[in-house]
Chains A and B, each alone.
Chain A
Amino acid sequence: MSRVRHLRDPDALRRFSVAVIALAILWPMMQLAQFDVFALFEVNNLKVFTNFLIQFFPPNLQTSFLALVLKATFETLAMATAGIALAMLMAIPLGLIITYSLSISRLGPASGHQIARLGRYLARMFMLLLRGIPEIVWALLLVRVFGLGPIAGVLAIAITYGGMLAKVYSEILETENTLPARALLMLGSGRINAFLYGLLPGASQELASYTIYRWECAVRASVVMGFVGAGGLGQLMDQSMKMLNGGEVSTILIVFLLLVLLADYISLIIRRQLS
């Protein structure tokens, strides 16, 4: 009997305490956030909810309005796409700089190792600054500079999403098998080549699919920024909401759903192409 008792899972206590701590942290947070599932199903609340939803029917499908929606959709798509493209321009170099497995000075380590580490740290801080401030704040700021219109939205997306993409790019690259890149650095290849020939073949699918997911997020974000005057579907929705025109709002919401569906579909196609 006593011999069996010795064969306990040594990790059990640690796992158990992590679970308890997680619960102990989550519970007060739920309280703080006034989380109450049952409030959703109270009769009064349900009535308010239903009345609000009823306004949305039927969707407004007049051709004159649809033409407006179409134009705004293109504007939103253009804003999200341009924003993501600019974000990638920032994120790719940043991501390559902070990726540890592409560090040349780490081999050995060589004498410049400390400087390289400082460089990576500064790049990380810079990314934190970019993505730590919500895009809506950047948009509000940029609207002051560039005036009302999509350019503020594009730049706000580029700044925040540049920081986010760089962080996730480097995380994706770190989880890849790093031996191929290391072997290339060992035969004198530079950082960019080690990435292209060593890491990209394995990571391309995940990188592409995350970028497209961010593009989808950018479409939604550009809507929110439309509320502060950055153009596109958001601005249209803002107007409709202010005029309490539920039909128009629901038409716009349907367009959103279609856009997300489209993003899903594009992601699927690209991942299939890469596999």
Chain B
Amino acid sequence: MKKIAFSFEHLSFSHSNGKEALKNLNISASAGESIAIIGSSGSGKTSLLNIIATSLRPSVGTVTVLNVDPWRISKGRLQRLRSLIGLVHQAAPIPPRQRVITAVLAGRLGQWPLWKSLLSLIYPVDIAGPHLCLQKLDLADRLFDRCDRLSGGQLQRVGVARVLYQAPQLFLADEPVSAMDPVLSDLTIQCLLEDARIRDACFVASLHAVDIALRWFPRIIGLRDGEVFFDLPAAEVSESLLQQLYASERGVLPKQGSANTSS
């Protein structure tokens, strides 16, 4: 029996404006699993990831992350739990004037004592670590550049490198390759999958491009209007099932390299 990475029980989530984003979800995933979440824009992919990331609190039902209910533990334990969860954002949330190395080092802020993070502002406490992470993503030469000198795709990879450096037990990624070309998308996804595999971490990614999801992920969850439309091994996901999933987009399947904007 593998360790549970996260699980939802009858979980619903409504935004503060009353709009229901997720309806009665029952999902669970164990350590070492890699899952792609697909579905059209507004189907609830981002909300689902934010619930696992403990950034949003479910309105109904319970969520369990790395064997604890994040909303029933103390503030200090919740903070430690969060340091074990790495979330790659669609738009890398990095201040434009920060240097790449600082942005990557920030991945460990949840693990470092305060003196170390203060010291690191004066002189980077670790150069080899971020360098290695960037090297995996073919970005090692930009280590000491400022982030506002990078392109959208490069910045997105810095965001990925930060999470690689964080070395979490649970990898989450919200459209991690939306600004990258096909070659780099594959490289980045492979890199995240490999890193998760080595550390036996669970990896959950929401993806706009269906072909990437089917190519790399063994388990696919299709979300439609906040509900689980299917939860199947990749081999069992048929073309007609996908047509139905994307019915609201007139059955046109979003593929990599086509439309890149969605959330």
Query: Do A and B form a real pair?
Result: yes
Interface residues of A (CB under 8 A from B): 104-105, 107-112, 177, 179-180, 182-190, 192-194, 196-199, 201-202
B115 → A minimal CB distance (Å): 11
Q: Mark B64-81, 1 if CB is under 8 A from A, else 0.
A: 000000010001001111
What residues of chain A lie closer than 8 Å to B57, measured between beta carbons? 108-110
Task: Assess whether B89 is in contact with A201, with CB atoms less than 8 Å apart.
Answer: no
Compute how far the CA of A274 lies from the CA of B96 in the bound complex, rounded to whole angstroms. Answer: 13
Partner of A110, one of B71, B93, B94, B117: B71
Task: Assess whether A193 is in contact with B117, with CB atoms less than 8 Å apart.
Answer: yes
- Overall SS of chain A's interface: helix
B140 → A minimal CB distance (Å): 21
Task: Assess whether A186 is in contact with B117, with CB atoms less than 8 Å apart.
Answer: no
Task: Assess whether A177 is in contact with B79, with CB atoms less than 8 Å apart.
Answer: no
What residues of chain B lie closer than 8 Å to A109, measured between beta carbons? 57
What residues of chain A lie closer than 8 Å to B98, measured between beta carbons? 197, 201
Chain B residue at minimal CB-CB distance from A204:
B97
Partner of A177, one of B53, B95, B118, B168: B95
Known contacts: A183-B87, A187-B82. The answer to whether A104 contacts B110 by CB under 8 A is no
Interface residues of B (CB under 8 A from A): 53-57, 71, 75, 78-87, 89, 91, 93-98, 102, 106-107, 109-111, 114, 117-118, 121, 166, 168
Chain B residue at minimal CB-CB distance from A107:
B55
Known contacts: A107-B55, A108-B57, A197-B102. The answer to whether A188 contacts B75 by CB under 8 A is no
Compute how far the CA of A192 lies from the CA of B79 in the bound complex, rounded to whole angstroms. Answer: 14
Compute how far the CA of A194 lies from the CA of B55 in the bound complex, rounded to whole angstroms. Answer: 15
Known contacts: A193-B114, A197-B117, A202-B96. The answer to whether A188 contacts B79 by CB under 8 A is yes
Compute how far the CA of A183 lies from the CA of B57 in the bound complex, rounded to whole angstroms. Answer: 16
A159 → B minimal CB distance (Å): 28
Compute how far the CA of A197 lies from the CA of B93 in the bound complex, rounded to whole angstroms. Answer: 11
What residues of chain A lie closer than 8 Å to B75, measured between beta carbons? 104-105, 110, 112
What residues of chain A lie closer than 8 Å to B117, measured between beta carbons? 193, 196-197
B98 → A minimal CB distance (Å): 5
21 contacting pairs across A/B (C-beta < 8 A): A104-B75, A107-B55, A108-B54, A108-B56, A109-B57, A110-B57, A177-B95, A180-B93, A182-B55, A187-B83, A187-B85, A187-B106, A187-B109, A188-B84, A193-B114, A194-B109, A196-B118, A197-B121, A201-B97, A202-B95, A202-B96
A223 → B minimal CB distance (Å): 37
What residues of chain B lie closer than 8 Å to A107, measured between beta carbons? 54-55
What residues of chain B lie closer than 8 Å to A183, measured between beta carbons? 87, 89, 93
Q: A186-B55, A194-B109, A198-B95 are in contact. List 5 more A-B contacts (CB 8 A).
A: A107-B54, A177-B95, A179-B93, A187-B107, A189-B109
Q: State the 6 A-B residue pairs at the shortest beta-carbon distance, nearest first.
A: A188-B110, A188-B83, A189-B109, A201-B95, A188-B82, A183-B93
